[in-house]
C-alpha cells in the first residue's frame, strides 16, 4: 500500500520531517513514495522553493526522486540555469537581457548549457547540505556525504564525498549489490516490506 499522496508528516508532532511527495506541486519535480526530507532550519514544506534552485519551466528539465530516499537538511539540487554557457566568448548571460541588447527573446535559453534532468534512484541517502548538479544520475542505495558537491553520476550502493564528490567505498560486495538490484525491495507491497523488515534492517540479504 502506497502512502496517500497528500500525507505530509510521517511522525506525530514532528514538523521538521515531511514526505516530499505530499508537498510537491511542480509537475517537473517527481517524488515517489516514502521519500523523506528533514529541515531543522527552514520549513520543510518549502522544499521546492528553498532546495530546488535555478529550476525554470523554460528548460523543461526535471528532478526525479525514487522511493525510500532520505534527504538531509539543506541539500540542494542546482539546475541548468546556473550554468552560464561556455560556448560564448563571454560568461555574461546576454540572452536573458534581450530587451537591453535588442536580441530575440526566443534565444533566452542559449544563455546557459542545458545538462538535463537530475535523477535520484531508490533508497538513496543525501547528507547535510550536499549539492547535486544538473544532469547527474545517482544510483539506487547510494550515499552522498555531508556537503559533498556531486558533479558526476554515482553508481548504485556507492558512498561518495568531497568537492567534487569522489567514491569513498562500496556499501556492499558486488554479489550483494547485484542481489539487491535484482530484488528491488522498494517496489514490494507494504505488507511484504513490513514482513521482511527484520532482514532488511539487519542486512540479511540472503533471507529476502
Give the pLDDT confidence of 103-160 residue by residue, as tens digits. 999 889 988 888 999 999 999 999 999 999 999 999 999 999 999 999 999 999 999 9
105 alpha-carbon distance from chain centroid: 31
pLDDT at residue 99, rounded to an integer: 94
CA neighbor of 66 nearest in space, from 186, 160, 196, 189: 186
Entry pTM: 0.93
Question: Which run of H or E residues covers position 177?
Answer: helix 174-183
The edge-to-edge listing of strands for the beta sheet with 137-138 is 29-31, 63-65, 118-120, 137-138
CA neighbor of 135 nearest in space, from 155, 152, 112: 152
Residue with cell 567505498: 169
pLDDT at residue 119, rounded to an integer: 98
pLDDT confidence tier of residue 169, bands split at 50, 70 and 90: very high
Show which residues are catalytic: 84
Is residue 1 over pLDDT 60? no
Residue with cell 561556455: 86
Over pLDDT 70: what percentage of the chain? 98
Distance CA 196, CA 208 (A): 7
Residues 6+ apart with CB under 8 A from 146: 72, 127, 128, 129, 130, 161
E strands, 11-130, are: 17-19, 29-31, 36-38, 52-53, 63-65, 70-71, 76-78, 118-120, 125-126
Structural domains of the chain, with CATH: 17-81+116-171 (2.160.10.10), 173-208 (no CATH)
Amino acid at each position: 500500500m502506497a502512502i496517500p499522496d497528500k500525507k505530509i508528516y510521517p511522525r506525530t508532532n514532528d514538523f521538521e520531517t515531511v514526505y516530499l511527495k505530499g508537498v510537491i506541486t511542480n509537475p517537473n519535480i517527481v517524488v515517489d513514495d516514502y521519500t523523506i526530507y528533514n529541515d531543522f532550519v527552514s520549513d520543510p514544506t518549502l522544499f521546492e522553493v528553498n532546495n530546488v534552485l535555478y529550476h525554470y519551466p523554460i528548460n523543461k528539465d526535471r528532478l526525479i526522486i525514487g522511493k525510500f530516499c532520505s534527504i538531509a537538511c539543506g541539500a540542494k539540487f542546482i539546475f541548468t540555469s546556473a550554468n552560464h554557457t561556455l560556448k560564448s566568448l563571454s560568461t555574461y548571460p546576454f540572452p536573458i537581457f534581450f530587451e537591453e541588447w535588442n536580441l530575440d527573446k526566443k534565444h533566452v535559453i542559449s544563455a546557459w548549457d542545458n545538462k538535463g534532468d537530475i535523477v535520484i534512484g531508490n533508497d538513496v541517502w543525501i547528507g547535510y547540505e550536499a549539492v547535486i548538479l544538473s544532469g547527474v544520475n545517482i544510483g539506487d542505495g547510494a550515499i552522498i556525504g555531508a556537503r559533498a558537491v556531486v558533479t558526476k553520476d554515482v553508481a548504485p550502493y556507492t558512498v561518495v564525498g568531497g568537492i567534487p564528490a569522489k567514491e569513498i567505498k562500496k556499501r556492499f560486495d558486488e554479489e550483494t549489490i547485484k542481489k539487491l538490484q535484482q530484488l528491488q525491495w522498494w517496489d514490494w507491497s507494504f505488507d511484504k516490506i513490513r514482513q521482511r523488515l527484520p532482514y532488511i534492517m539487519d542486512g540479511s540479504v540472503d533471507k529476502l
